Amino acid sequence: MIFSSKIKTSLKLISSAFLLGQSAASIAEDEIFLATLEQDKVVQVVNITNREGYDNQPHFTPDNKSLLYSAMFVDGDKAQTDSMRFEIATGKTINLTQSAASEYSPTVMPNGKEFSVIYVGGDGRQRFSSYPLSGGKAKSLVAKLDKNFADIGYHIWLNKSELLMFVLAQPMQLQRVNLASGKAEIIDTDIGRTLRKVPNKNLFSYNKANAQQWQMQLFDPITNKSQASVTLPQENMYYAWHTDGRLISATGAKLVVNTLQMGNAKWQDWHDFSAYCNGSITRLTMSSNSEYIAFVCNTTDKP
């Protein structure tokens, strides 16, 4: 398979945001915006982070009352990341971890009481841990995995004991991991950063590098097989699912949707957020009640 130079670069730098000890000057400028929707129309947009530095990886809690995300804090030339919780009704932000380590990709676990994270300790390894949603200490979730199991980049829960994991390897791998048994198997390679549950179906989605673009793949946990779907907008690896089954992605600061998840279905303009985002929309996610959409605006290369 032949990749464009930009896709090669993004794959090689996939874990760069996780590294401890990076200089403050190298940190991307990311803001998280929360858009309120009424019957699919945007009625309000709020910048919930509104500060310099890295704020990223938004994730709605199952009750749609809060948004978890990763926030980086800089001390001199060092940087460390915590998991935050933004309460939508009050506008209050709480630091859930406040640890010496760095945590990324906060994701509510199937038990609804804890959230899992990619945990980066002093040795720089990217492991897998959990924290109580009410606050508390970290607990390792990989006791039964081989100690030499590769570093983990991203994850999504299939059920109470199994996950799909983005594993940092050459090339990048999608692995199905059973935490109870310690079993792990490779499902696919050359994958992108976004792992999602497909609404109203027993399917999960990820993207895979295909020439100069990223192609959606739909994974069936019953058959353990994937099927190719629609191609994402040019060189964009980020997407989310609308609760009605439409696929959402971005071109610059504009969200686009695709109604048909197959073949070369066309992307259509949905919402233009250029009045709020002076850059490009990257990660995005929709609440399960379809009332909110959270998106990250990256302004790294903007004045």
How far is the C-alpha of 135 from the C-alpha of 123, rounded, in Å? 24
- The predicted pLDDT at position 254 comes to 97
How far is the C-alpha of 262 from the C-alpha of 255, rounded, in Å? 19
3-class SS of residue 121 = coil
Asked if residue 151 has pLDDT above 50, the reply is: yes
Q: Is the domain 5-298 a CATH 3.90.280.10 member?
A: no
Q: Report which of 60, 136, 61 is spatially closest to residue 99, judged by C-alpha positions.
A: 136
State pLDDT tens for residues 169-203: 999 999 999 999 989 999 999 999 999 999 999 99
pTM of the predicted protein model: 0.89
| Domains of the chain by residue range | 5-298
pLDDT higher at 12 or 288: 288
Q: Are 33 and 44 in contact (CB under 8 A)?
A: no
State pLDDT tens for residues 61-82: 999 999 999 999 998 888 999 9
What percent of the chain shows pLDDT beyond 90?
A: 74
> Chain-wide mean pLDDT for the chain?
88
What is the 8-class DSSP label of residue 266? P
Cβ of 182: how many Cβ atoms within 10 Å? Answer: 13
- The predicted pLDDT at position 123 comes to 81
